[in-house]
Chain A
Amino acid sequence: EDKVVQSPLSLVVHEGDTVTLNCSYEVTNFRSLLWYKQEKKAPTFLFMLTSSGIEKKSGRLSSILDKKELFSILNITATQTGDSAVYLCAVFDRGSTLGRLYFGRGTQLTVWP
Chain B
Amino acid sequence: NAGVTQTPKFQVLKTGQSMTLQCAQDMNHEYMSWYRQDPGMGLRLIHYSVGAGITDQGEVPNGYNVSRSTTEDFPLRLLSAAPSQTSVYFCASKLIAGVVNNEQFFGPGTRLTVL
Contact = CB atoms under 8 A, between A and B. Distances in A.
Interface in A11-56: 31-32, 34, 41-45, 48, 50
A45 B40 contact: no
A99 B97 contact: yes
B90 interface: yes
A94 interface: yes
Contacts of A41: 108-109
B42 A103 contact: yes
- For chain A, which range describes its interface: under 10, 10 to 19, 20 to 34, or 35 or more residues? 20 to 34
Contacts of B33: 101
Which of B42, B50, B56, B107 has the most A CB atoms < 10 Å from its CB?
B42
A67 interface: no
A99 to B, nearest CB: 5
Contacts of A6: 42
A88 B101 contact: no
B50 A98 contact: yes
A100 interface: yes
Interface of B: 33, 35, 40-45, 48, 50, 56, 58, 90, 97-98, 100-101, 103-109
Interface of A: 4, 6, 9, 31-32, 34, 41-45, 48, 50, 88, 90, 92, 94, 97-106
